């Protein structure tokens, strides 16, 4: 028997919705009802994550406490996931060099049991996870929401300007007749 045939007794294989098995340091994206929750896989079936915005792990969570202090927890991945779908998503690996897995895992373990300021826009669970993996806190969820908001706002302003211009033109036309 060679070493590839040796399996730790009782070791369960955990795979994401694509059939991939996470490795220490991987980012885990969990699809909740209205947002994505993020965690860092630290091995042996565990993740470290910044507790969600409402202090709950439930998939029915909604974002109702966007600012405050939340706990950094180490929990079984499958407990955090619950019945939601999840995937390994090392989203910035193409443009950024991830830190070595042992650095990510060691730093994650040091943070377990601490509290972190939580702000849905400036520092959420995705910021926490990307900061551990890349050394820089980023949130694509927030960036996308800002782009959509700016787009809607820009469109609203444009439509408003067109309506005002039309009303002014119509008023001016009526008064000159």
Say whether 49 is catalytic: yes
> Which among 121, 163, 161, 126 is positioned nearest to 27, based on CA atoms?
126
Hey, what's the torsion of the CAs at 96, 102, 15, 35, to 10 degrees? -50
From the candidates 92, 109, 125, 127, give the one annotated as an active-site residue: 125
Which H or E element spans position 127?
Answer: helix 125-134
Q: Clarify whether 37 is annotated catalytic.
A: yes
Q: 């885990």: which residue's tokens?
A: 28
Does 92 qualify as catalytic in the annotation?
no
Rounded CA gap, 78 and 14, in Å? Answer: 8
Catalytic residue (one of 37, 92, 109, 127): 37
Coil, strand or helix: which one is 47?
A: strand
Sheet containing strand 27-31, strands side by side: 86-88, 27-31, 36-43, 46-50, 67-76, 115-119
- Residue positions annotated with a catalytic role: 37, 49, 125
């Amino acid at each position: 028997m060679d070493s590839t045939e040796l399996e730790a007794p009782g070791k369960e294989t955990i795979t994401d919705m694509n059939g991939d098995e996470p490795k220490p340091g991987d980012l885990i994206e969990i699809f909740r009802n209205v947002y994505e929750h993020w965690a860092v896989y630290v091995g042996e079936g565990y993740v470290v994550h910044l507790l969600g915005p409402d202090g709950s792990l439930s998939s029915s969570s909604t974002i109702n406490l966007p600012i405050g202090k939340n706990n950094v927890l180490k929990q079984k991945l499958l407990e955090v996931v619950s019945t939601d779908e999840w995937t390994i998503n090392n989203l910035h690996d193409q443009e950024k060099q991830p830190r070595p897995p042992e650095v990510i895992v060691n730093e994650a373990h040091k943070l377990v049991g601490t509290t972190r300021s939580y702000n849905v826009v400036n520092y959420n669970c995705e910021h926490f996870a990307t900061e551990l993996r890349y050394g820089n806190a980023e949130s694509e969820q927030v960036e996308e929401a800002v782009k959509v908001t700016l787009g809607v706002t820009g469109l609203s302003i444009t439509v408003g300007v067109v309506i005002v211009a039309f009303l002014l033109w119509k008023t001016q036309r009526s008064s000159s007749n």
